[in-house]
Amino acid sequence: MEILLSGSLVILGYLLGSIPNVYIVVKLFTGKDIRNIGSGNVGGLNAARNVSLPIGLLGGLLDVAKGVLAVFLAQKFSSNEIVHLLTGIAAVAGHNWPLYLNFIGGKGVGTTLGVMSMINPIVLIPCLVVE
């Protein structure tokens, strides 16, 4: 039963990561396809640079949130830390290679930030300082 739950959580992490938040936000607010704007990257930075800062920030925050949510759900339903890590990795993989955009996505920075904030926030601090 644990294997089924673990596998389901990892798949859920990938599917959550696959939600193209920035693509959706840009499409809703401007009607444009972010893949045809600026660098073509489906990420918050591209949206902030080439659409508008508020839209980029909203999309970026939603990308962070999906990383947080994926790991939160794994922590809620499983006590296995490996499952938490794999679910977070799957969320980042889903962001980078999203099912819904023909496997062409963003760079995974925001989603990784969300995953790291849930897995080990202490490790996140030096990463933010270097950035």
The per-residue pLDDT string of the chain (131 residues; one tens digit each, 9 = 90 and over) reads 789 999 999 999 999 999 999 999 999 999 999 999 988 889 899 999 999 999 999 999 999 999 999 999 999 999 999 999 999 999 999 999 999 889 988 899 999 999 999 999 898 888 777 65
Mapped onto helix, strand or coil, the DSSP state of residue 121 is helix
Write down the pTM of the prediction.
0.91
- Whole-Å CA distances, 46 to 33, 41, 57, 82, 87: 12, 6, 10, 33, 26
* Long-range contacts from 29-37, C-beta under 8 angstroms, 24+ separation: 29/55, 30/55, 35/101, 35/104
Neighbours of 1 (CB within 10 A): 5
Q: Within the chain, how many helices (H) and strands (E) appear?
A: 7, 0
